[in-house]
């Protein structure tokens, strides 16, 4: 099937042809004919980048009443960027239909201009929920003529907390209006919107529900949490032509990773909620024009981005839910092109990979982090290919060839190649010359020792990672490490920890060595000869921190001399599962109870 077989008007077909489109995508092939012939509500499940804008946009444009200059279609989407993109696409489709007026309404810009444009009359409004509801509350928009409402990226809008805004907007839309819901996934929140605001919707699914893009290969690398940044750097180096997005969990981590990449010479910029709108626009302009090759972003900041030809998506931190991973990976592998979704995990995150494989029905391939030697070879071959394929053009250096030949006459071909390659890649070759293997293996976990200044070449792991991946330290001589069952969430600080230890151990003051406080636990060093005394003193003294009883054990699964514990043997608690002292049993039977005045 071609667009010419769908019954679209000549003006629309001319606009489509001008854009170079001939054959509809699968979602377009199913949605467009249905909307042209039916006014039934529609739920369409398809991945981002599969041509959904044309799927709903072309039927809307086809059925507009040009003489009625009032909003006849409303398109709601999650972000400013997507709002602008949809409005731009609709205008491009209607390039041969001069009477069509499309208005983009979004936050971060002057609302007065948008109100003025509405008052002059428009046919289609494309809006973000927050700004649209603001305009409706001001009673500056008349939706009485709305015939179609589109909820684009519905799952994203709900993830961003727009459910109340959507309810407020949909309550102003006439009941007769056809509702079209487009989403990449179908979580229960989207299903609830469909149930409450749609009448017997026709469902169109391209692929399978909650499935990822078909042209995406899913790969993962397993490393120590402390080596996450170094692994990222090697992955980037192993793909010299990478054009992609690195996803992080928090704004702080996003900024740190971008800063480290830039410091190490990579063409990268952050995109997160702390950026002003002009900064955000500047970053996105550079990224779309490929002046920027790596975008480091949070999920929220990247929602609605429409960038073509991304080669890689890298999950620096794995998301906690399936829909977030689906949206991340769906940003590559578009328009029939292949893409790669990469995840960097540590040993205890294997369950996330298994869960995603089962949910998506796709195989995730474990890759080994490239060694320094492998990266050096890859980069050298890439440079050689670039030199081989380079077309210098006539006359650029012809006038200087004789002088160049004279200057380099004493060098052999092999020596010339060696020197030019070394000049181009000197820094990288030096960096990777003695680089260690970063791949996580059980043997390495048991024998690994702490490296000095272990975070010098990358962002620090989060408190959660430190807690999940804590390994016994290489102890200061004569010291051992103990674990306490409270941490940052309980308001614990190094000063408070030292005070509690010395309050609990009333007989003498303890010399405390290195302290590491994470989210829900704390690790600290004490002299080996004092360790059991500290453990026993906490068991006796009932110290608490913000109302939580504090207990201490050896870091790991063993205790020092457990038989020396107070009058009875007691199984020592392990780090991460500290228990309270056992409750004393009431030895009196019910029949022997005595009552006293």
Per residue in 257-315, pLDDT (tens digit) is 999 999 988 999 999 888 887 888 889 889 988 899 999 998 877 776 778 789 999 99
Q: How confident is the model at residue 476 (pLDDT cuts 50, 70, 90)?
A: low
Are 322 and 210 in contact by the 8 Å Cβ rule? The answer is: yes
Q: How confident is the model at residue 438 (pLDDT cuts 50, 70, 90)?
A: confident
Is the pLDDT score of 462 beyond 70? no
The whole-number pLDDT of residue 465 equals 56
CATH of 224-369, one of 3.40.50.300, 3.90.1300.10, 3.30.70.20, 3.40.50.2000: 3.40.50.300
Q: Percentage of residues in the chain with pLDDT exceeding 90?
A: 32
The whole-number pLDDT of residue 568 equals 39
Q: How confident is the model at residue 464 (pLDDT cuts 50, 70, 90)?
A: low
The whole-number pLDDT of residue 583 equals 46
The whole-number pLDDT of residue 507 equals 54
Is the pLDDT score of 571 beyond 60? no
The CA-atom distances, in angstroms, between 144 and each of 68, 171, 515 are: 12, 12, 66
Distance separating alpha carbons of residues 119 and 106, to the nearest angstrom: 16
The whole-number pLDDT of residue 591 equals 43
* Same fold flag, 3-205 and 224-369: yes
Angle, helices 163-170 vs 129-137, to 10°: value is: 50
pLDDT (mean) for 144-166: 88
Q: How confident is the model at residue 508 (pLDDT cuts 50, 70, 90)?
A: low
Quick one: CATH architecture of 470-564? Answer: 2-Layer Sandwich (3.30)
Distance separating alpha carbons of residues 362 and 57, to the nearest angstrom: 31
Give residue limits of the domains in the chain.
3-205, 224-369, 470-564
pTM: 0.55
Per residue in 27-63, pLDDT (tens digit) is 899 999 999 999 999 999 887 667 889 999 999 999 9
Are 542 and 522 in contact by the 8 Å Cβ rule? The answer is: no
Distance separating alpha carbons of residues 369 and 375, to the nearest angstrom: 10
The whole-number pLDDT of residue 154 equals 85
- Mean model confidence pLDDT for the chain: 81
- 266-270, 440-444, 578-582: which is most confident: 266-270
3-state DSSP of 36-93: HHCCCCEEEECCCCCCHHHHHHHHHHHCCCCCCCCCCEEEECCCHHHHHHHHHHHHHH
pLDDT (mean) for 564-593: 41
Kindly state which CATH superfamily the domain 3-205 is placed in.
P-loop containing nucleotide triphosphate hydrolases (3.40.50.300)
Higher pLDDT, 548 or 83: 83
Higher pLDDT, 131 or 557: 131
The whole-number pLDDT of residue 127 equals 95
Per residue in 511-528, pLDDT (tens digit) is 788 889 988 899 989 888
The CA-atom distances, in angstroms, between 458 and each of 225, 252, 282, 338 are: 11, 13, 26, 30
Exposure of 574 in the CB half-sphere (CA atoms within 13 A): 5
Q: How confident is the model at residue 125 (pLDDT cuts 50, 70, 90)?
A: very high
Is the pLDDT score of 562 beyond 50? no
Higher pLDDT, 457 or 222: 222
pLDDT (mean) for 173-199: 85
Q: How confident is the model at residue 474 (pLDDT cuts 50, 70, 90)?
A: low
Q: How confident is the model at residue 460 (pLDDT cuts 50, 70, 90)?
A: low
Q: Maximum Cα–Cα distance for the chain, whole Å?
A: 118
pLDDT (mean) for 522-548: 84
Higher pLDDT, 113 or 593: 113
Distance separating alpha carbons of residues 185 and 341, to the nearest angstrom: 18
Q: How confident is the model at residue 449 (pLDDT cuts 50, 70, 90)?
A: very low
213: nearest Cα among 325, 88, 348: 325
pLDDT (mean) for 448-461: 52
């Amino acid at each position: 099937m071609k667009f010419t077989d769908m019954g679209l008007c000549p003006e629309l077909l001319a606009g489509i042809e001008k854009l170079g489109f001939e054959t509809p995508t699968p979602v377009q092939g199913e949605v467009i004919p249905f909307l042209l012939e039916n006014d039934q509500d529609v739920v369409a499940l398809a991945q981002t980048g599969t041509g959904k804008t044309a799927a709903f946009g072309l039927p809307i444009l086809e059925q507009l009443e040009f003489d009625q200059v009032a909003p006849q279609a409303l398109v709601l989407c999650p972000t400013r960027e997507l709002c602008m993109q949809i409005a731009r696409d609709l205008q491009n489709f209607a390039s041969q239909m001069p009477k069509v007026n499309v208005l983009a309404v979004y936050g971060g810009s002057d609302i007065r201009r948008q109100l003025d444009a509405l008052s002059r009359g428009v046919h289609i409004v494309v809006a973000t929920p927050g700004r649209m509801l603001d305009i409706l509350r001001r009673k500056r928009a008349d939706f009485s003529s709305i015939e179609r409402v589109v909820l684009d990226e519905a799952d994203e809008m709900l993830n961003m907390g727009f459910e109340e805004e959507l309810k407020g907007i949909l309550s102003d839309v006439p009941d007769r209006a056809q509702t079209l819901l487009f989403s990449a996934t179908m979580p229960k929140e989207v299903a609830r919107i469909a149930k409450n605001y749609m009448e017997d919707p026709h469902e169109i699914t391209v692929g399978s529900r909650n499935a990822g893009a078909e042209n995406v290969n899913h790969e993962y690398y397993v490393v120590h949490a402390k080596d996450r940044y170094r692994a990222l750097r090697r992955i980037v180096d192993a793909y010299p032509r990478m054009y992609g997005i690195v996803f992080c969990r928090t704004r702080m981590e996003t900024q740190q990773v971008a800063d480290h990449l830039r410091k190490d010479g990579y063409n990268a910029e952050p995109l997160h909620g702390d950026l002003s709108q002009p900064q955000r626009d500047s970053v996105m302009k550079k990224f779309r024009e490929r002046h920027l090759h790596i975008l480091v972003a949070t999920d929220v900041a990247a929602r609605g981005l429409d960038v073509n030809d991304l080669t890689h998506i890298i999950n620096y931190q794995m998301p906690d839910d399936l829909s977030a991973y689906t949206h991340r990976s769906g940003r590559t592998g578009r328009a029939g092109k292949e893409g790669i979704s990469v995840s960097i995990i540590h040993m205890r995150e294997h369950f996330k990979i298994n869960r995603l494989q089962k949910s998506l029905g796709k195989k995730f391939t474990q890759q080994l982090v490239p060694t320094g030697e492998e990266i050096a070879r890859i980069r050298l071959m890439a440079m050689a290919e670039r030199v081989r394929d380079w077309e210098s053009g006539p006359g650029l250096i012809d006038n200087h060839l004789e002088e160049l030949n004279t200057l380099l006459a004493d060098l052999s071909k092999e020596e010339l190649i060696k020197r030019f390659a070394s000049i181009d890649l000197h820094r990288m070759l030096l960096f990777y010359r003695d680089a260690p293997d970063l791949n996580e293996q059980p043997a390495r976990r048991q024998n690994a020792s702490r490296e000095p200044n272990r975070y010098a070449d990358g962002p620090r792991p989060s408190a959660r990672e430190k807690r999940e991946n804590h390994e016994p330290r290489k102890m200061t001589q004569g010291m051992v490490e103990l674990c306490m069952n409270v941490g940052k969430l309980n308001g614990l600080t190094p000063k408070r920890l030292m005070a509690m230890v010395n309050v609990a151990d009333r007989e003498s003051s303890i010399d405390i060595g290195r302290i590491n406080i994470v989210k829900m636990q704390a690790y600290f060093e004490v002299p080996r000869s004092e360790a059991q005394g500290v453990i026993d003193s906490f068991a006796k003294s009932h110290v608490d921190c913000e109302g939580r009883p504090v207990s201490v054990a050896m870091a790991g699964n063993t205790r020092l001399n457990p038989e020396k514990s107070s009058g009875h043997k007691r199984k020592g608690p392990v780090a991460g599962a500290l228990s309270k002292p056992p409750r004393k049993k009431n030895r009196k039977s019910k029949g022997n109870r005595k009552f006293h005045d």
